[in-house]
Structure 1
Amino acid sequence: MNNYQITAWCSDFIRNQVQDGDLCIDATMGNGNDTLLLSRLCGSTGKVLAFDIQEQALNATRERLDTANAPDNYTLLLESHANMAQYAEPGSVNCIVFNFGYLPGGNHALATRGETSVQALSQALILLKKGGMISLCIYSGGDSGFEERDQILAWLKQLDSHKYLVIKSEYYNRPNHPPIPVLVIKLS
């Protein structure tokens, strides 16, 4: 791996997880990078549902997908990730991607919040099929504070280890509250 950004690190695991024909969710579409990756990996027989509450994110993602000639296998939803269970069946999703924090280049006051993020993660576990994976990039500090990070990490720690494998990594020698990459794999 040549790029040590958190998104590149998580993308390597996503590439190993997602196959043609899968149903995947980009829970925080942002500028569309993960939506595009999932769309390409799912192929023409797969499906991607992408969520964001900001019109700016939806427009940026649509433009990114159009410019990249992404397969026509996605639905962009101007909707909170806390409502994702309304759009997929339990046990049907192979990969769900989260980037917690604010939209890069967007309004920093509009950021994900602990309460709705934990609600979305709870729904994600129900939607995930056995062997499915959730990828989390947890950003904290600065404008977004630490409350959401702490709520998510506490929630992850209490997950049943017989049902879920939680792998938390860290940029150990980076200053200023580096992002935290986490993978959750549904075992049963």
Structure 2
Amino acid sequence: MNLAKAIAINKLRSGDTVIDATMGNGNDTVFLAGLVGKEGKVYSFDIQDIAIENTEEKLKSANIFSNVKLIHDGHENIDKYVNEKVKLVMFNLGYLPSASHEITTKAETTITAIKKSLEVLDRDGVILLVIYHGHDNDKMERCAVEKLASNLDQKEYNVIRLEFINQMNNPPLLIAIEKR
């Protein structure tokens, strides 16, 4: 979703540390690495071998090596790998395009990942959740994410939800959580 990328461009500076919580085909990992530059750091998570392979190939094509750590693990384990404050965490929830639709992000692990992301999120940092909700599991995940986000303390977080109202077939929505 271009709005999520626009927020990332506005928030990030060279040298920042970020997390791509759902590596997928590597597009966001490469995008974020470009924004934080060689002085920054990107932690990128996925459970699928094909995601790691696709992302490695994209990073090689973009000549990006030193500042990206590809992690073959679920985003619910962020705390095992990230021990520093981050400026941004990006999630694309759903399934990996052009791969099995049976393998999707799940409400339980996503909620755990969001809670752990909130712990490492720096002041004025943001969590971006692009939610694709085309089938039953995705709808449950959307409800769980919306419930968590809507119950965050307004004194600590600003939370917005942006969604298309003129598109059919379950268009994605964006939830952004900014730490005050």
In the superposition, the TM-score normalised over structure 2's length comes to 0.96
| Counterpart for residue 88 of structure 1 | 82
User: Any idea what SS the aligned residue of 1:77 has?
Assistant: strand
Which segment drifts farther, 95-104 or 80-89?
Answer: 80-89
Task: Summarize the alignment of residues 34-113 of structure 1 with structure 2, pairs less than 5 Å apart.
Answer: 34-89=28-83, 92-113=85-106
* Structure 2 counterpart of 1:130, from 111, 117, 123: 123
Asked whether the 8 Å contact 2:131–2:142 carries over to 1, the reply is yes
* Structure 2 counterpart of 1:31, from 9, 25, 29: 25
Structure 1: distance between partners of 2:112 and 2:104: 15
Give 1:143 shift. 6.6
Asked whether the 8 Å contact 1:36–1:64 carries over to 2, the reply is yes
Aligned residues: percent identity? 38
Structure 2: distance between partners of 1:55 and 1:143: 25
* Structure 1 counterpart of 2:148, from 129, 135, 155: 155
AA aligned opposite 1:20: S
| Counterpart for residue 167 of structure 2 | 174
- For residues 169 and 62 of structure 1, do their structure 2 counterparts lie closer, same or farther at Cα, with a shift above 3 Å needed? same
User: Any idea what SS the aligned residue of 2:92 has?
Assistant: strand
Asked whether the 8 Å contact 1:25–1:97 carries over to 2, the reply is yes
In the superposition, the TM-score normalised over structure 1's length comes to 0.92
Asked whether the 8 Å contact 2:38–2:67 carries over to 1, the reply is yes
* Structure 1 counterpart of 2:6, from 6, 12, 15: 12
Structure 1: distance between partners of 2:156 and 2:138: 31
Structure 2: distance between partners of 1:114 and 1:153: 11
1:32-89 residue CA offsets vs partner (Å, 9 max, x unmatched): 1110011111111111000000010010011011111125200000000000011122
Structure 1: distance between partners of 2:34 and 2:169: 34
Asked whether the 8 Å contact 1:108–1:144 carries over to 2, the reply is no
Structure 2 runs not aligned, ≥5 long: none
* Structure 1 counterpart of 2:107, from 107, 114, 117: 114
